[in-house]
Amino acid sequence: MKLYVMVPHEKVRQAGFTLIELMISMAIGLLLLLGMTMMFTSDAKVSKTLASRTESLGDLYLVSQILQSDLRGSVSDPAPAYPADLQSGGRKPAGTCTSPNNQSVSLPDNYPSSFTELPYWDATSKTLTYQDPDGNTGIIQYQRTENDRIYWLRPDPCVYQFEEIVRGLDPASGMTVIASGTSPKVYTITLKSAFKNEDRDIRTLDLSFKAWARN
């Protein structure tokens, strides 16, 4: 006769998480996700700010180089036929071009009729007029048709229209010109632009340089 002894099985606890543990884990995960999102957003704002600032500064630098190059090569005494040829709608000829134009230059409103020296800044028409050694007239105008831009009539006998060379300047003081000294006068030109920082606040950028006739 066999005798069987019954041994009670030990209760085995099943592995798992309680509801409270799950809620705590979810809360920690959400906090981590929130932190990563804020970091990404902050980095994106900084990147946009740097891009905006770099673009604005690059535009100012490019325009300053163009203006300095031309203005510093300007003659100080107007050519004998200037400004009569310009006022009558022509351009003092110099050199040749493949397609000489016979069209008139559309001069700015209130443009001065005479000049004692060049370059010459006229605050009324917001123009800076100069002349290259060949007698070609160049005009730089602020706010010709739009109040945040600079326009340029290149000193070239084949050019008869103003070209836009920069936009996005300060609408009130994007280009200021201060003359000092005697003939030839030294002009301090300040260009002002703006960009948005991380908080989307407007911040200004200034770039100044000096120019005067060297011929």
Residue 23 domain-assigned?
no
13: which DSSP letter? P
Spatial separation of the C-alpha atoms in residues 167 and 172, rounded to whole Å: 13
If pLDDT is split at 50, 70 and 90, which confidence band does 49 have?
A: low
Max mean pLDDT among 68-82, 139-153, 171-185, 199-213 falls in: 139-153
Reported in sequence order, the residue ranges of 21-180 that DSSP labels E, i.e. its strands, are: 120-122, 127-131, 137-142, 150-153, 163-166, 175-180
If pLDDT is split at 50, 70 and 90, which confidence band does 113 have?
A: confident
Q: Which pLDDT score, from 0 to 100, does residue 46 have? A: 61
Residue 156 domain-assigned?
yes
| Residue 52: HSE in the Cβ half-sphere, 13 Å Cα cutoff | 19
**For residue 95, pLDDT beyond 50:** no
Answer for the pair 169, 148: CB distance below 8 angstroms, yes or no: yes
169: which DSSP letter? B
Residue 7 domain-assigned?
no
Residue 181 domain-assigned?
yes
What mean pLDDT comes out for the span 27-53? Answer: 71
Domains: count for the chain: 1
Query: Which run of H or of E encompasses 203?
Result: strand 202-211
Residue 193 domain-assigned?
yes
Q: Which pLDDT score, from 0 to 100, does residue 178 have? A: 93
Count of CB atoms situated within 10 Å of the CB of 208: 13
Residue 135 domain-assigned?
yes
Tell whether pTM > 0.75: no
* Structural domain boundaries enclosing 84: 46-211
Residue 31 domain-assigned?
no
Spatial separation of the C-alpha atoms in residues 152 and 164, rounded to whole Å: 6
**For residue 123, pLDDT beyond 80:** yes
Query: Which run of H or of E encompasses 195?
Result: strand 186-196
Lowest mean pLDDT among 14-28, 32-46, 120-134: 32-46
Q: Write the CA distances from 175 to 152, 162, 166, 178, integer angstroms.
A: 13, 17, 11, 10
Answer for the pair 207, 191: CB distance below 8 angstroms, yes or no: yes
Answer for the pair 181, 169: CB distance below 8 angstroms, yes or no: no
Residue 24 domain-assigned?
no
Q: Which residues, 6 or more positions from 113, have their beta carbon under 8 angstroms from its beta carbon?
A: 83, 87
